[in-house]
Homo-oligomer: A and B are copies of this chain.
Amino acid sequence: MQIEEVTAIVEALLFSMGEAIALEKLAEVVEIDKSTLKKIMEQMQEKYEQDHRGIRLISLEGAYQLCTKPEYYEYIRRMTNKAKSYELTDVLIETLSIIAYKQPITKTHIEAIRGVKSDHAVNKLIEYGLVEEKGRLDGPGKPIVFGTTEVFLRYFGLSSPEELPVLEDKILEQIQKETENELQMKLEEIL
């Protein structure tokens, strides 16, 4: 049998099977001795490495398999790509705003403010590259603290988190003052 024919048969076999096939099995089907086939396979491997081929012949423990060359994965990705759209849901915006203005902040603290579990939201924001871990708090359990990423700051033209509008203190102050006044009034009533 011509080498060319063996090459063609092996290609057809490996193509149709998809999986790795042992040299023994190939030799048996093609009806050729193993050592000759092995040499032919080595030649084939070299041929597949040529520029115009998109597939290559890999050998694993005496078995052979055809597979796509990794340099073309990008194109397969494009072909199979299900365009993902990132959505900033209300939950994410809320969580992001808390992290932005309260950073560095622990997850427990975020949850205390929001009143609900926030793992999913925090993870999503990390995945989106808007939030990142900023080290650990020096307290019991050493909880991780989160803050906004540089991309986030840069996008809004800020050079540090301190440049974020800091009006929330005023609100708190106001609330505190109101409460104190109320308390004062009550005390006055009692007295």
Contact = CB atoms under 8 A, between A and B. Distances in A.
A136 interface: no
Interface in A125-171: none
A79 to B, nearest CB: 5
A15 to B, nearest CB: 5
A12 B76 contact: yes
Contact of A53 (B11, B17, B69): B11
A120 B112 CA distance: 64
Copies, count: 2
Nearest to A7: B52
B11 A54 contact: yes
A29 B75 contact: yes
A25 interface: yes
A186 interface: no
Q: Which 9 A-B pairs have the closest CB atoms?
A: A12-B54, A11-B54, A12-B72, A8-B54, A4-B52, A12-B68, A7-B52, A4-B51, A29-B78
